[in-house]
Structure 1
Amino acid sequence: MRYGYQSQWFGEGAMRQKASTVAQRLLLALRRKRKEYPNRPLLFIAHCFGGLVVLKALLDAQQNESEWPGIFASTTGLIFFGTPFRGAEGMSQVEMLAAAQREYQQDEIQPEVLKILEPGNEFLQEVVDQFGRTRRLANKTQVACFYELKPSNVGRIVGKTDRTRVVVSESSGCLDLSDAASKYSLSRTHFDMNKFEDAQEEDFETVAEVVQSMVEASPELLWARSQCISKHKIDFSLRGVPVVSQFVARDAEMQALEKVLVDTAPTTTSRNVVIVHGLGGIGKTQLVVKFAREHQGRFSAIFWLDGSSEASLKQSFVSMAQRLPQGKLTADGVQMRSQATVEAEVAVRECQQWLSIPTNSRWLLIIDNVDRDHQDRDDSQAYDVKAYFPDADHGSILITSRLASLQRLGSGVKVGTVATEQARAILENNAGRVVEDADVVLELLHGLPLALTQAGSYMRETNASATTYAKHYSQTWERLMESEARFPLEEYGDRSVLTTWTISYGQVQRQSKEAAWLLKLWGLLDNGELWYELVAACNDLAAETDVPTWLREVAEDELAFDQAIRLLTRYSLVDGKEGTEGHSMHSVLHRWCGHLADEEEQDELGCLAVGLVASNVPSKSDAQFWKKRRRVMA
């Protein structure tokens, strides 16, 4: 296949052209040409800027394998003739542009293309650096760089002035040498490097030998690449994976996962760890299930582990050990397979040993629902998830958790509420029909996937309208939630709005009675914002009424208040409110908090809430009257 593109940047046919645009067109042409044989070996021969186009195309193909199947993985050889990897010192952008301006009108000149000529150009540097990172891969593509020995008359490219120079020097025209990269000189000018009149020419024979050697090495190279994955390949299994039948696309979060686990995975030399964190019921597990299904082909093996407790995690390792290749087990592992009862500690060791094999670096370990904080010493089921990471510094680990603090282990992807149209889709998918007046329900549930799924299931089972559901939600919330809980949601582990935050609340309660009481009080205040001065007003109330000890301790100073808020934030129960020093809570969680207190506690907390709000109403003489009034009355 021969591929060319129009590169004229001056004169009547001048084109506004970029390397990235040409790279996309090249990929489209390749995909059409290779439709029947997408995995056939590929060898590129490129001249000058065409080499940069090829590099950009390969990088795009690597980062989006599903769109450009087989192109990066099947490329076995690259031959570059005078490609200016570090700029074309012999073709000054300033000189070329000045010459063009002498000969042509301004609207006949497209100077953008010249920027890539300059040494140190940002795009040029980025493309070369990114390609350099792919050279860390095993079984890398063979590269040959040819550079010119004769100068060219660059002055005659534009204009009539003679200026003879070497266009692309040896240092600029050659990538860094390695065991799969080499360089050769050609006794030619830059513009005839790829043109030969006689097969007996010395330069042609040199090029022909390089091409021939690459062609001959291609089958073995492709076989070696396939072996790197296939010898550790374990078929994708849905065992232990929650059933997700009505997933609604979450593009931003999916792209964040793909950026770390897919786009950079082929070039990284260290382990990838990603923490998907957010409020319980926000859809973390559903997102990760979708990711695993869509990208299973990018990993040699994917294992799904239940991280809800240490005991369940160990049992998941037992199941994982049963899927490992017999030939890769230790003597203890082989014996383990023959026993009716498998020791969890042996299974964990076998799995970690297999994950640590040096050539086995393309696996993905998913640990779901790591919601128990190992710093909570009173929680017998809490554990340090890092203790179960394999020793090897390769592979990928994806964790779902309500614990935002786990981001210290790697990269964090926060999962928030869904947008209105996504929320409508979740509600109607689970209701099994188009829901009239759905907006009244969407406004109540504020994009929380668990609440939307539960509401839709309830409406399907009871044939309730949106208006009826909204009435029950507003008037008899707890009874409605109890009714909804009778319709189990398998994709949420049969948890409901009533139960999903119980574990997090229990952990908060064990670590700080003050923070737990603050949650109860917050259930009787507005969910939109809680700030220190609002709570600190209890000091003014102390002269008129009994203020509980826990509240005085929380309001002692901002450090004490921040400590309580930090604990609630750790379990993703509250969020910082952007642009203020306040904090907010999801409206459905706020409803749940309003039912934490018993009747006697509700009376006491209700009086406190009224007193705190009243004490924060500013007088008209206050310099910040309108700001404070808006905050209190919002």
Structure 2
Amino acid sequence: MEDSLQILTNASGRQMSLGDADAIKLVTVLDDPPLALATAGAYLSQVPTSLSDYLRHYEASWLKLQKTAPELTEYEDRMLYSTWQISYDHVQRQNKASAKLLQLWAYLDSQDVWLELLQHTEQDDPEWIREITEDELSFNAVVRVLCDHGLVEVDQSPVEQVESRGYSMHGCVHAWTMHVLNQKWDGGLARLALKFVGSHAPKRDKEKWWATQRRLLQHANRCSSMILKGSVAKEGMEGKIHMLGYLYADQDKLEEAEKMYERALVGYEKASGPDHTSTLNTMNNLGLLYADQGKLDGAEKMYKRALVGYEEGMGTRPYINTHHGQQLRPTL
């Protein structure tokens, strides 16, 4: 009990003691998991509300969760999700952009989201994402709101840092953003996440490209999972999917690269035709990948298709592969 009260004291900045009936009741209700206590404390540090009022909000959130997510049968899950919902509701009132970023995070990996990853916006993207990624000051201000509520924290990964330092969230919080906060799938946010990850995949001419690729890999895994499940619309995203294949190939994850290249190829053929440069580039990269996997028949088929396409479309035979810098060959 004393340890739990100390967690609340540290997180909230308020003195909690065994003589405080409301504090004892709150600790008892939250059943002593440190994560729930820390989240409640972070909320109390931001909002001038009494412990009794927080308990009232918690009970209301619990009842709402029973109706909206009846599949949550574990008591601890309901308890944690209720505390996060209270914090999210306050974040939404305080800074709508912070709340939207938390929703977007569900379609990325839980770990290491950084500014430059999201700086691939276009004019038709939502205004909130364009505003928060305008510069580091704007981005950090929005994320700080989430940090203050105990929902995310500065990433402490021991990987080599390229670009700015990122932010991470606990896996349990991420599960809540996926299954409760985004209970209704948002196809627009899913496509936005895929666009950011695919656009940020570096080629080998970028400084420290290998470090950026390693940093990006976990987000690529999240996006490829959505693609393979058919839960993100792929039309118009062929280039981003192709770049996921490129990233996987460079990271020697050949099976994952194959799946992305194959889906990009289907999309390019449908959208641009079999003789478009993008289609032929993907055929060539897929052929090289098949060769690396020992799938020689498949590799030869891709090489021949790409070669014929270039000869018919450009009237020239040689073609230099954009991925490995090797010359396309019709036979192995």
TM-score (norm 2): 0.47
Larger radius of gyration: 1
TM-score (norm 1): 0.25
| Greater share of residues in helix | 2
| Greater share of residues in strand | 1
